[in-house]
Amino acid sequence: MSKFIASPATTLSGNLKVPGDKSISHRSIMLGSLAKGVTKVAGFLEGEDALSTLKAFQAMGVKIERNGDNVTIHGVGINGLKKPEKPLDLGNSGTSIRLMSGILAAQAFDCELVGDESLSKRPMGRVIDPLTAMGAVIKSNDGKPPLKITGGQTLKAINYDLPVASAQVKSCVLLAGLYAQGTTCVTEPAPTRDHTERMLKGLGYEVNVANSQMCLTGGGELTATQIQVPSDISSSAFFMVAAAIAPKADITLTGVNVNPTRTGVIDILKLMGADLTLSNQREIGGELLADIRVQSSVLKGINIPQALVPLAIDEFPAVFIAASCAQGETVLTGARELRVKESDRIQVMADGLDILGIENQVLEDGIKIQGGTFKKPTAIIESHHDHRISMAFAVASLRCNHPIEINGVDNVMTSFPNFVELANSAGMDIVEV
């Protein structure tokens, strides 16, 4: 187990290139493997989560070559996967296990999906239920991994109303729908990231999107293509907040994914008064990119609009740090989903803010944070092995007078392997020990 010691720093500057988008990296491996032909991926995230997906498809007979962040996938077609010799270990990756369940529910072979201690505690009923309704046979540990999926089932299309806005569940059902008899439709209660729909279209598969419903008909084929993975906005969020709260800051994040289903963090920070501007907006491979410049800002507390919550669900640990440095109170509600991430992110962040001397009140589906000053002279934070908690509190060091010690930072490798290196290049002072 490793830890960060994040010491105070006052100045941030430079042009930063954050690694590739995790969501798109996962999907490029999955859909590239199911396509006919050779798919070439540039900008692939070399984090442990995305590599778990890559290794799983290699274990199912897909030839995948990797040279740094360039990946070549020799697709086997929609029905070309082979039975793995042993359980597929997906590490810490909730995206992998949930999306792959949709694909594997329709295969001719049995398989088992396992993960690390953290993943083994995460709820999978949200994907088991709709897949079972489609005809899948899945055994779990009381709704949690490992998942044992019985092959040879014939799936039938369903119309599914998502009980909670979740891109992972939506994607799982749509991926199962590739194999189902008939037309599968998913209706979501609020917009969620749409990378699956965009990439399916990019690989030549028709997806009909109307208002809040996505439909596709099973039995088609995917055709190989070239995929450019933009920088991950979830990882970029730590630097957006860092620049906004630092006493002296002027940074530009280049080539960031600004897909409209992911930009909640930008909207929230702007509402708080962040000096944040987008430039050089362009579209590559169906995804929108932009350069994001952020300068030191005077932030104010806000009531976070509920419509923005699903569009910023992974970025809230960083937003909580921004709220801690803002003038006045910030209130988040409608974010119960945060309690079933890699950790209970509401409670774990609240515990850390308590240690730093920030007044807060935990709500069932959110939190109230009173902006103030990080004033505890000695701070030891438990991240509960949650990568986003670890990075959020590292960013808090920019407004501290004393170092922060953050325990359990090993899983930062899952999403942002060069976080410390990039942060220090911009002017932060983080040591991993």
Catalytic: which of 21, 314, 351, 429?
314
| DSSP conformation letters of 96-130 | HHHHHHHHHTTSSS-EEEE--TTGGGS--HHHHHH
Distance CA 414, CA 51 (A): 9
- The token duo for 376 is 């505890």
Distance CA 136, CA 344 (A): 29
Distance CA 223, CA 214 (A): 20
Contact 265, 249 (CB under 8 A): no
Distance CA 97, CA 146 (A): 10
Instruction: Report which of 280, 275, 272, 277 is spatially closest to residue 248, judged by C-alpha positions.
Output: 275
Annotated catalytic, 314?
A: yes
| DSSP conformation letters of 167-191 | HHHHHHHHHHHTTSBSEEEEE-SS-
Residue at 16: amino acid letter: L
Three-class SS state of 53:
helix
Write the CA distances from 199 to 24, 271, 287, integer angstroms.
8, 31, 9
Distance CA 342, CA 385 (A): 8
Residue 407, beta-bridge partner list: 3, 382
Write the CA distances from 188 to 27, 39, 105, 170, 205, integer angstroms.
20, 30, 22, 8, 21
Distance CA 38, CA 18 (A): 27
Distance CA 417, CA 107 (A): 33
| DSSP conformation letters of 208-234 | EEETTEEEEESS---B--EEEPPBPHH
Phi-psi region at 408: left, alpha or beta (left = phi > 0; alpha = psi -120 to 50):
left
Write the CA distances from 17 to 289, 291, 409, integer angstroms.
12, 10, 22
Strand order from edge to edge, sheet including 88-89? 88-89, 111-114, 144-150, 137-141
Q: Which residues are catalytic?
A: 314
